[in-house]
Amino acid sequence: MKIRDFQKFIYDRYAKRDRQRGTAKTFMWFTEEIGELATVLATDDSTQEQRESEFADVFAWLCTLANINDVDIENACKKKYSENCPEGYK
């Protein structure tokens, strides 16, 4: 699945509710998921399944934020990192 496909999948399922919630409240959910990911990564006994689940949650909420702010993440990443990657990072 491409990034754009996953972002559309999230949009198709949740766009109406996400737009009603708005950016500020959605960003709060996003940061909560980042906190959960941080906890799992900092825990020595976390499982691969837990790590994967939290990474997926963070990415889904990032897609949600992008959707309600009319940002195509795949396109944005291509523009920022394909040709304009800062020197030393290529």
How many Å apart are CA 57 and CA 72, to the nearest integer?
A: 18
Q: What are the pLDDT digits (tens) for 42-77?
A: 999 999 999 999 999 999 999 999 999 999 999 999
For the domain covering 3-82, report its CATH number. 1.10.287.1080
User: Among residues of the chain, what percentage have pLDDT more than 70?
Assistant: 92
Q: What are phi and psi of 70, to 5 degrees?
A: 55, 45
Given a cut of 90, is residue 6 above it in pLDDT? yes
Supply the DSSP string of 12-60, one letter for each residue. Answer: HHHHHHHHHHHHHHHHHHHHHHHHHHHHHHH-TT--HHHHHHHHHHHHH
Between CA 2 and CA 22 the distance in angstroms is 25
Average pLDDT on 70-86 reads 87
Segment among 1-5, 24-28, 58-62, 81-85 with least mean pLDDT: 81-85
pLDDT, residue 84, reads: 67
Domain ranges of the chain: 3-82
